[in-house]
Amino acid sequence: MEERPSIQVEAPAVPEKIGGEAPAEQGDPKMKAADVNLWYGEKQALFDVNLEMFDKSVTALIGPSGCGKSTFLRCLDRMNDVIDICRVQGDIRLDGEDIYAPRVDPVQLRARVGMVFQKPNPFPKSIFENVAYGPRIHGTCRTKAEFEEVVEGSLTRAGLWEEVKDRLDEPGTGLSGGQQQRLCIARAISVNPEVLLMDEPCSALDPIATAKIETLMDELKENLCIVIVTHSMQQAARVSQRTAFFHLGKLVEVDQTSKIFTNPADQRTQDYVTGRFG
Amino acid sequence: MSDAQVLTPAGTIDWNSDKARRRVRRRYAADRRLQAYGIIAIALAVGLLSVLVASLVRTGFPAFLQTKVDLPIYVDASKVDAEDPASGNYRGLIKAALNKAIPDVPKDQQRSVRKILTSHAAYILRDYVVDHPDSIGKTITLPIALSDPFDQLYKGVIPKHMDALNWVQEEWFERLQNRNVVVEHDGRTSLKLDVYVDPAAVEDGDYVDLARNSLQAYFPRVRDSSLFEMLAPDAPAAIEKAVAEDPAIVGKTVQIYFPVSEHYATLAAGEEPTILNPRFNEAQLAAYDVFVDKGMLRTPFNWELFFNADSRFPERAGLAGAIIGSFYALLVCFMLSFPIGIAAAVYLEEFAPKNRLTDLIEVNINNLAAVPSVVFGLLGLAVFLGFFGLPRSAPLVGGMVLSLMTLPTIIITTRAALKAVPPSIREAALGVGASKHQVMLHHVLPLALPGILTGTIIGMAQALGETAPLLLIGMNAFIPSVENMGLLEPATSLPTQIFSWADSPERGFVSRTSAAILVLLGFLVIMNLVAITLRQMFQRKW
Amino acid sequence: MIGYVLLVLLVLAVVSYFLGRRRAVSAVEGREQELHSRPSYHGAFVAAWVGLPSILFVLVWLLFQGSVIDNLLLASLPAGTTDGLTAGQTSLLLSEIKSVAAGNIFGEPSATVLEAAERYNRWQTIARWSMFAAAVSIALMGLALAGGRISRDFRARHGAERIMSGLMIACSLIAMLTTLGIVLSLLIEALRFFDRVSPIEFFFGLNWEPQIPIREGQVTAGGAFGAIPVFAGTLLIALIAMLVATPIGLYSAIYLTEYAHPRIRAVIKPILELLAGIPTVVYGFFAVLTVAPAMRQFGEMIGMPIAPNSALAAGAVMGIMIIPFISSLSDDAIAAVPRAMRDGSYAMGATKGETITKVLLPAALPGIMGGVLLAVSRAIGETMIVVMAAGIIATLTANPLKPVTTVTVQIVTLLIGDTEFDNPKTLAAFALGLVLFLVTLALNVLALHIVRKYREQYE
């Protein structure tokens, strides 16, 4: 594919940005990955990935399916630890601290780095209990009032409070897909994480629900570092300040979102964003 | 692990606070606890299985050997008629042979000494002589099985002498010793006890209760009358003697020395009191020791266990009848459930229209698989025996009941095997113009056959271990000979034989039962191994 | 004799297969391709018509021959012989006649019996030969009927396949017939029982003493059929079994699905399943041989008397048998919880233990409940362990150290050695059987329903 002669194709019209061109690279990165290699058994899935993710901004990871973007995302909160055959090498830092250091407890790490998945996965419990799960296991709330405060706050931030405030006792699985995903976001932010990882959070949702989530991300990024994996270039262009393009397990290019979509440095990025493959 | 100062505090959680660290430690401890519970649970399950197998092997192993004595027997021509060897006085020959082997047995003990040998000894000799008529007039050496108690004795399962006191009784005595109540008095080991010499008892001349009460005072919580066996029979007389010596003690509490009974005296002397095992008497043991000293006893492999039919005497009881009975029942079960099961499965899987009736049949089959086996026994009893009047205890009926129980298993596994045959094969055959039946017979069934056979063998293995229904239709008959066995004759089976033997009081049957279980488990293991091999041999990747 | 009859019929069927084939070929003068169906189908069609009806006839005949002759024989006895005889005495008389007929004469049989025996032998012979003649003529009729239809255009394949389908349908109906047979036989005998003993006494009575006099003059208790102590004993033993099996099974399943290395799982799982493959009579003997004496000794040690056939020993051993049911069904239920639930929980920073107890177990609860219910049904219906290790006397107690009896124990003890269905003692076994069948059926249906609902939830 790389050998393909470059044909000048007009860059796609960059959709109207919700996030705006907020200055992204200010100071130290919130998370920094250096020379990350990852193997599933014998098969190497990531090759020397170097990426910086900044606070109060959205970093989008794009690329064709199987390119390793989700795998990389799962490295950031050590979710790959759960898989026996997975082996990670390299240096990933949160606020300058190595998260793979032996002294770091993945349980604490994951409280600081929240995650939202491709398919909404509310627990088969009530809406209230879904959101209260994090505070409950981490012991951040004690009294019923504290729980109610956190649940209301998280649901409000996730833009779901008004829709569910009268049925907090109903099972979370009874909500619509978009509501479920926002419930999962509320669950993830209930313990005030510093980083929020989102793995194609809108791929199972309809456009209206997607729009709601995107607006929500824009609001949340004011206090958070958000990293989102998406297969939709439009979404990446709409919500993110920086975009990283992955291909075959390698990070091809990372830059300001506007630059990636208008004037990428690498030919493969150019081909991908213009829809030649992927 | 919770040493987390690496990560800076954030949000509402201060991971560096002691409280947070303690909490994390607690959470991980809970996690480890859960894991430990899991390991304990598995260890328990596996441990219990091993205890089961180990206790069966330990008790069952001796039954695979049989103690026999090589007894030289003079086949006296005057007692056996060469013309008609079957009706000789073989009992007398055995008697003579025993008297020769163990001389000097008093006349009145000879009878009990003969009980060392199996009660069947005369028949063993008769069968041998009938087979070898030329032995008449000669001395032959014939291995004769020992009777059950001596078989067990030689194998070390039961001892010659037993502890006279159990450990509870020994503990009682020890308690008294620790309180310095046990003393030597008048050359006898005695208990120095406080006795209230009740005037009423003195009047009656009944001192037994007085003695007992004074002993009981040391064991207020023990409610076991065997406690009083500690006192020698003449212990109450000690009170009588004391009263006679000094009548003033009546109505007072005094110390009196009570002699202890013989076994406790032995215990006090630092020895272990023993009694002769009640199964034996001295004359028998003396005779047995002669056999042992002369090296006449040996324990060859117990082939009789497999080739003899049942018997009331453990040393003669074997499994042949049970194995044949089980074989017949399984044969009937297979002949019925294999074709019927396959036909039903093929119909339900390949031909049946989807309607209420077939749904009902499906639900039915699933539920039938979970009906308690004893209910099938009731069905067999009421329908096969009661309504159709088929003979009781017959393997035919047993097999029919078992086949009703294995049918669901076979149908379910056959359907799974048929499902596993890919549709492409059906389509290919249909495509060249074969009818649905032809596709089934020529293509699908042969491909599914290994799976079907595996399921059938597993179903048969279940049927082999099934006991309750056979019990209800009476397939636990006592079969002392395998000559007259048939589909309609009374029979027994391996599991019901195990049940009958487990119920028998003789010590030898305990180990025979375990041995029979090992044989049954052996058959099950073989059947399952065949099933697994079959599955692996024909495992196909489509 | 019967074997020979069946053999003759089989030979006839095989012969007619070839006859049918030959006839089909000759019908088209050897040009086989003109036939609608291949010649072998013609043969099979004819063979089926020859073999099936006649063999079926023989089987039906055999089923009824015995009871028909018995009844004829009783009817032919001189008037008054059977008056005033109980069913048991009548069957004794019958078996005396039969043993005389077979040539085993004990003592001095009466003239009536000798006469009847002779008649019995004569009728047996007549019956046998008439069955043979009828069967063979049915076979020949089938041959004529089916053979006559063979022609160039006869669709023999369709005919043969229709017969095959019919046979298959009949086979699948056997499962239905079995259930029907169970329900009918239990119901009929139970109703006969309730004719003699009121259902109110049976279901609410507190006194169970079924050993009533069978013969006159036999000294036994009066006979009481209040089944509450029996039901209570069953529940007590089942409860003990579940208390042993549920924690062990559930924790094993949790460990095997969530913590264990795949290789350990591959070894341990079959070992646990082995527990389910051991015949229950083996468990019963294990209880008697090892567990009960061990418990007794332990009880002696701590000064607590434990009965040798205590509910505890029987229940505990039954629990061991049930472990694999719980563990494998819980295993399935936990494994069926989608990966996304685990991910969601881990991503929140939950430990493995928290994920299991707070997310997986609640999610898998219906499946686990279904498994537990199935196990309860097993425990209630289990027979051999309790027959060997539990008590026979029905006592109403909740003390697990005392012996109690169960429904299955009573069924077996009431029926062993007794075949007469005319006294409340044996009929009571069927009433108990009916209760047992209905309860286990209800539990199974409920459990399967819950499990199925649960599977749908994640599909």
Q: Which residues contact A264 (CB under 8 A, 6 or more apart)?
A: A245, A253, A255, A270, A273
**Lowest-pLDDT range of B15-19, C68-72, C81-85:** C81-85
Nearest CA among B514, B512, B475 for reference residue B491: B475
Q: What is the DSSP letter of B162?
A: E
Q: Which residues contact B87 (CB under 8 A, 6 or more apart)?
A: B81
Contact residues on chain B for C254, CB-CB shorter than 8 A? 34, 37-38
Return d(Cα C375, Cα C382) in angstroms, integer. Answer: 10
For C214-256, the pLDDT digits (tens) are: 555 454 545 788 889 999 999 999 999 999 999 999 999 999 9
pLDDT greater than 50 at residue C123? yes
Task: Please return the burial class of A247, using the count of CB atoms within 10 Å of its CB with bins 0-12, 13-18 and 19+.
Answer: buried
**In this complex, is the C-beta atom of B434 within 8 Å of any C-beta atom belonging to chain C?**
no
Q: Which amino acid is at C435?
A: V
Q: What is the DSSP letter of B443?
A: I
Return d(Cα C12, Cα C53) in angstroms, integer. Answer: 12
* Residues on chain B bordering chain A, Cβ-to-Cβ distance under 8 angstroms: 1-4, 6-8, 10-13, 15, 20, 23-24, 27-28
Could you give the C-alpha distances from C85 to C81, C93, C218, C423, in angstroms and in order?
8, 10, 17, 14
Contact A245, A217 (CB under 8 A): no
Return d(Cα C181, Cα C187) in angstroms, integer. Answer: 10
C-alpha B211: how far from chain center: 45
Q: Which two tokens stand for residue C392?
A: 């026979």
- Per-residue pLDDT 10s for chain A (278 aa) are 344 444 444 444 445 555 455 554 557 788 999 999 999 888 999 999 999 999 889 999 998 888 888 899 999 988 887 777 888 888 999 888 899 888 888 888 898 899 999 889 999 889 999 999 998 888 888 888 889 999 999 999 888 898 998 999 988 888 988 899 999 999 999 988 989 999 989 888 888 888 988 998 988 888 889 999 998 888 999 999 999 999 988 999 999 998 988 888 888 888 888 887 75
What integer pLDDT is reported at residue A174 of this predicted model? Answer: 87
Return d(Cα C226, Cα C231) in angstroms, integer. Answer: 10
Q: Which two tokens stand for residue C410?
A: 């009573």
For C352-380, the pLDDT digits (tens) are: 999 999 999 988 998 899 999 999 999 99
Contact residues on chain B for A190, CB-CB shorter than 8 A? none
Return d(Cα B272, Cα B167) in angstroms, integer. Answer: 11
Q: In chain C, whose CA is at the least distance from the CA of B352?
A: C169
Q: Which two tokens stand for residue B10?
A: 């954030």
Q: Which two tokens stand for residue B247?
A: 């009548």
Distance from CA of C340 to the nearest CA of A (A): 6
Return d(Cα C13, Cα C50) in angstroms, integer. Answer: 5
Three-class HEC string of B449-465: HHHHHHHHHHHHHHHHH
What integer pLDDT is reported at residue C410 of this predicted model? Answer: 92
Contact across the interface for B3 and A192, Cβ inside 8 Å:
no
Contact C348, A134 (CB under 8 A): yes
Return d(Cα C428, Cα C409) in angstroms, integer. Answer: 12
Backbone φ and ψ for C223, nearest 5 degrees, come out as 95, 115
Contact across the interface for C346 and A110, Cβ inside 8 Å:
yes
Mean pLDDT by 10 residues, chain B (542 residues): 34 70 89 94 94 93 90 85 80 86 82 86 87 85 88 86 82 85 84 84 81 84 81 84 83 85 84 83 86 87 89 88 94 94 91 84 87 93 84 90 93 91 86 83 87 91 93 88 82 94 86 93 93 80 56
Q: Is A198 helix (H, G, I), strand (E, B) or coil?
A: strand
Q: Is B144 helix (H, G, I), strand (E, B) or coil?
A: strand
Q: Which two tokens stand for residue B257?
A: 């020395």
Optimal mutation site among C265, C348, C365, interface A, most CBs of chain A within 10 A: C348
What integer pLDDT is reported at residue B54 of this predicted model? Answer: 94
Q: Which two tokens stand for residue A42?
A: 């014998």
Q: How many A/C residue pairs have CB atoms within 8 Å?
A: 69
Closest partner residue to C348 (CB to CB) among A110, A124, A197 is: A110
For A159-205, the pLDDT digits (tens) are: 889 899 899 998 888 898 889 999 999 999 998 898 999 998 988 88
Closest partner residue to C347 (CB to CB) among A108, A110, A138 is: A110
Contact residues on chain C for A119, CB-CB shorter than 8 A? 340
Contact residues on chain A for B22, CB-CB shorter than 8 A? none
**Is the backbone of residue B353 left (phi > 0), alpha (psi -120 to 50) or beta?**
beta
Contact across the interface for C344 and A124, Cβ inside 8 Å:
no
Q: What is the DSSP letter of B85?
A: G
Contact residues on chain A for B1, CB-CB shorter than 8 A? 103, 105
Could you give the C-alpha distances from C124 to B30, C1, C105, C116, C202, in angstroms and in order?
78, 11, 19, 12, 44
Return d(Cα C96, Cα C115) in angstroms, integer. Answer: 12
Contact across the interface for B11 and A108, Cβ inside 8 Å:
no
pLDDT greater than 80 at residue C78? no
Contact across the interface for C323 and B379, Cβ inside 8 Å:
no
Question: Most confidently modeled of B515-519, C57-61, C169-173?
Answer: B515-519
CA dihedral sign, ordered B178, B183, B188, B191: negative
Question: Rg (Cα) of chain C, in Å, rounded?
Answer: 31
Q: What is the DSSP letter of A186?
A: H
What integer pLDDT is reported at residue C234 of this predicted model? Answer: 95
**Percent of chain B with pLDDT strictly greater than 70:** 97
What integer pLDDT is reported at residue A5 of this predicted model? Answer: 45
Beta pairing partners, A62:
A245
Q: Which amino acid is at C345?
A: S
How does B127-137 read in b/e, with b if 16+ C-beta sit within 10 Å? ebbeeeeebbe
Contact A98, A92 (CB under 8 A): yes
Q: In chain B, whose CA is at the least distance from the CA of A103?
A: B1
Nearest CA among C399, C408, C333 for reference residue C378: C408
**For range C192-211, the mean pLDDT:** 86
Q: How many B/C residue pairs have CB atoms within 8 Å?
A: 270
**In this complex, is the C-beta atom of A119 within 8 Å of any C-beta atom belonging to chain C?**
yes
Contact C134, C57 (CB under 8 A): yes
Q: Is A58 helix (H, G, I), strand (E, B) or coil?
A: strand
Contact across the interface for A95 and B8, Cβ inside 8 Å:
yes
What integer pLDDT is reported at residue C458 of this predicted model? Answer: 64
Q: What is the DSSP letter of C418?
A: -
- Could you tell me the end-to-end alpha-carbon distance of chain A, in angstroms, rounded to an integer? 11
Contact A238, A19 (CB under 8 A): yes
Helix (H) or strand (E) holding B535: helix B507-537
What integer pLDDT is reported at residue B542 of this predicted model? Answer: 55
For C405-446, the pLDDT digits (tens) are: 999 999 998 887 655 666 778 888 999 999 999 999 999 999
**In this complex, is the C-beta atom of C359 within 8 Å of any C-beta atom belonging to chain A?**
yes
Q: Which amino acid is at C168?
A: M
Return d(Cα B342, Cα C59) in angstroms, integer. Answer: 21
CA dihedral sign, ordered A117, A120, A123, A126: positive
Return d(Cα C167, Cα C174) in angstroms, integer. Answer: 11
- In the block, tokens 């082999």 appear at B464
Return d(Cα C389, Cα C384) in angstroms, integer. Answer: 8
Distance from CA of B140 to the nearest CA of C (A): 39
